Amino acid sequence: MKHLFFCFFFIAISQLPEAREYKIPLPKNSYSSANIFIITVDGYRWQELFNGADSNILNNTSFTTDKVKMNALYGGASLIEKRKKLMPFMWNIVAKKGQLYGNRAYNNNVNVANLYSISYPGYSEMFTGKTDLTIANNNKNLNPHQNIFEYLNTKDKYRGKVGVFTSWNVFPFILNEERSGIKINSGHENLTEETTNNQRKLNTIQTSLINEKLQIRNDMLTYIEAKKYLKKNHPSIFYLGLGETDEYGHLENYDMYLQKANETDRIIAALWHWTQTTKGYKNNTTFIITTDHGRGSSASKWTDHGFFTPGSSQTWLAMLGKNVSPLGEIKTENQLYQKQLAQTIAGFLGEEFGNERPILESIGRK
């Protein structure tokens, strides 16, 4: 049995993307954005992003309770019609003014590079630029690796100007809040710095909406609390981690998976509108939108993800804002990895972080 384990282990290792041990210098001034917002949509498949609601799942009553309503809301005669119904901001704004990567119909691939295709390893890869075989589960263990937010917070320019709001309560461990000193509001944590009547009411609502079936805070509440923080503190680097798509996927509830995807699109639209109507952010902010892992690629396995579920490593990436050329949906053959994002975030700010090639080196920039 031990020999079988080691055979499996080395076969698995051989499938990992080859490590790149080089650093590419980036321009320090001409391409620098003043602000960068990162939004993640946990466990959201590229299939729904690029093709809209999957008809095979949408019409399967094992996964879709009210298929008549869901078809009325998100069905359509073509994938273009369906994807615009599901995520109108992505396809009416980002696809025209920004860039979208990961449509495998064109062999335009984005993948996680980690072995496991689950959340903690995915977010760790995304924000540290590293894959680590010892980070193999979602347990609340402090991440030993420095992350991009922590790194930027050491810079005089960004110290105290980094904010993180997430629906999942494991992020204080993924981003090592104890060590990093960055502002993280996660899970059902209250906004302790606020003591107004409105905030107390919001905390009460948050407590009343706790769903024992879900492991996370309601995404809309995360956004509401994040928006209050943004208005008061005006951070330069901001991360919003949304998670209900993944939760409802695991619950095999396609109705709510689609509803939450649509809600996420509206949250991103509202956040973009706020930045473009707020002094200091208008025309001076870059959005990076992505996910931590994929899900099963078949209609029967869409609820699952992980090493043994094909399709789980397949992700996607969207960018919008300052220094992002309006290339729209990218239809050329390409391969990107999530571990490139930490250096890409740094690159948009005119900084360098880690050894991975930044995505900025292979995309169109203004």
Indicate the pTM of the whole model.
0.88
CB 316 within 8 A of CB 102: yes
Backbone dihedral region for residue 357 (phi beyond 0: left; psi -120 to 50: alpha; all else: beta): beta
What does the alpha-carbon distance between residue 353 and residue 347 come to, in Å, rounded to a whole number? 8
Q: In the chain, where are the structural domains located?
A: 2-362
What does the alpha-carbon distance between residue 42 and residue 126 come to, in Å, rounded to a whole number? 12
Q: Cβ-count burial of 27 within 10 angstroms (0-12 exposed, 13-18 middle, 19+ buried)?
A: exposed
Instruction: Count Cα atoms within 13 angstroms, Cβ side, for 133.
Output: 7
| Helix, strand, or coil (residue 201) | helix
Sheet strand arrangement including 162-166 = 183-186, 162-166, 237-242, 35-41, 285-290, 317-321, 99-101, 328-329
First to last CA, the chain: 55
SS3 of 235-289: CCEEEEEECHHHHHHHCCCHHHHHHHHHHHHHHHHHHHHHHCCCCCCCCCEEEEE
CATH architecture for the domain at 2-362? 3-Layer(aba) Sandwich (3.40)
From first to last of the 366 residues of the chain, give the pLDDT tens digit: 333 333 433 344 434 444 333 232 333 444 578 899 999 999 999 999 999 999 999 999 999 999 999 999 999 999 999 999 999 999 999 999 999 999 999 999 999 999 999 999 999 999 999 999 999 999 999 999 999 999 999 999 999 999 999 999 999 999 999 999 998 999 987 655 555 666 555 555 555 455 555 579 999 999 999 999 999 999 999 999 999 999 999 999 999 999 999 999 999 999 999 999 999 999 999 999 999 999 999 999 999 999 999 999 999 999 999 999 999 999 999 999 999 999 999 999 999 998 888 887 645 555
What one-character-per-residue DSSP string does 66-118 give?
Answer: -HHHHHHHH--SSHHHHHHHH-HHIIIIIHHHSEEE--GGGTEEEE--SSS-S
Burial annotation 302-335 (CB, 10 A radius, 16+ → b, else e)? bbbbeeebebbbbbbbbbbbbbbeebebbeeebe
